Amino acid sequence: MRTLHSISSAATETGIGAFLLNQFLVAAGAFDEDDVRPVARKTFDAAKYAGLLSEIPTLVGPIEMEQAIGATRSQFASLAADGVLVPRIDVPTIKSPWRVSDGLALVAELKKMAVPVDPTDKKWESIQRAKSRSSINVGIIIAAIRGRKIQLGLRTDTTGYGGLCVLKVDVDGMALKTRSVPSHSHMTAAAFDRSIGKRGEGWFEKFSAAGHTPATNMPHPKWGGLRTYVSQADQEAFHARFVTPSTLSKEIEEDRRGILSKLKAAGIAPFAPNGEDYGRLYLRNEIKGIF
């Protein structure tokens, strides 16, 4: 049984293009985004990522997802924009990042909570129509449905997501309550990961949880529950102490390959306290005089 794969060997066995495969493996944390080795030399644990390799060919694009769950383009776009449905990989260049099973599971979950509604009943409106009329995000509406705060119906003439509907009076009541609730401007941990060139899942959350840099835990503005965010002060604290090839490239306007070569030549090792692996992350005070 194979224990190691290279991107090259995995691409040959699976029929997945090496460029596409590399993007998925970077997002999964197998490689750092700044790893510039040739595909034949970029090796990874075959067993650990076997599930990912088998899953990639099954992923679909937006049109297939819309058809699978019975949603229009705007309905699906709202579900994606509000994080109700999350792609398997969040990379703009990948056109088929969605699991059909996630969409079907969402529709099945909601249908269990829905009561039958006659198609001619004007007291109800689709979730998307409720969003347009009230300016309340679909994510907030679905969170309220899940919390049993508003009632959900299903038009009897359809079975997909497009047939799900809510009472107009419930939505009007939500609008009155949410107008006075301020939003926050903190960056999500995932967005911060991307801004510093880290695409391994949950990188900043793990890093901050280990006590290496501050983070801000606060309720999610739509769905509640404590989440990890990165305030402006948190960002400044991180950048004051650490650099990545990506952030340093922006600072000094030098190619990341040149940066990595200089770090290697100077014998600067990545920040790895107690053997912890955070990829290509360096202490700022250790690179002084090199750039």
Answer for the pair 291, 248: CB distance below 8 angstroms, yes or no. Answer: yes
| Residue 165 CB neighbour total at 10 angstroms | 25
Nearest-angstrom CA–CA distance, 281 and 198: 10
Q: Specify the pLDDT at position 74.
A: 94
Q: What is the pTM of this model?
A: 0.61
Q: Specify the pLDDT at position 136.
A: 85
Q: Specify the pLDDT at position 220.
A: 57
Nearest-angstrom CA–CA distance, 147 and 154: 17
Q: Specify the pLDDT at position 174.
A: 83
For the record, the structure tokens of 96 come out as 């088929």
Q: Specify the pLDDT at position 180.
A: 41
Q: Which residues of the chain have pLDDT under 50?
A: 179-183
| Residue 133 CB neighbour total at 10 angstroms | 13
Nearest-angstrom CA–CA distance, 32 and 176: 46
For the record, the structure tokens of 34 come out as 């700044």
Nearest-angstrom CA–CA distance, 187 and 228: 9
CA distances from 198 to 24, 46, 203, 259 (A): 13, 22, 7, 16
Angle value at C-alpha 183, between 182 and 185, nearest 5 degrees: 135
Q: Specify the pLDDT at position 7.
A: 94
Location of structure tokens 């503005």: 221
* Three-class HEC string of the chain: CCCEEEHHHHHHHHCCCHHHHHHHHHHHCCCCCCCCCCCCCCEEECCCCHHHHHHHHHCECHHHHHHHHCCCHHHHHHHHHCCCCCCCCCCCCCCCCECHHHHHHHHHHHHHHEEEECCCCCCEEEHHHHHHHHCCCHHHHHHHHHCCCCCEEEECCCCCHHHEEEEHHHHHHHHHHHCCCCCCCCEEHHHHHHHCCCCCCCHHHHHHHCCCCCCEEEECCCCCCEEEEECHHHHHHHHHHEECHHHHHHHHCCCHHHHHHHHHHCCCCCCCHHHCCCCCCEEHHHCCCCC
Nearest-angstrom CA–CA distance, 46 and 31: 13
Q: Specify the pLDDT at position 190.
A: 86
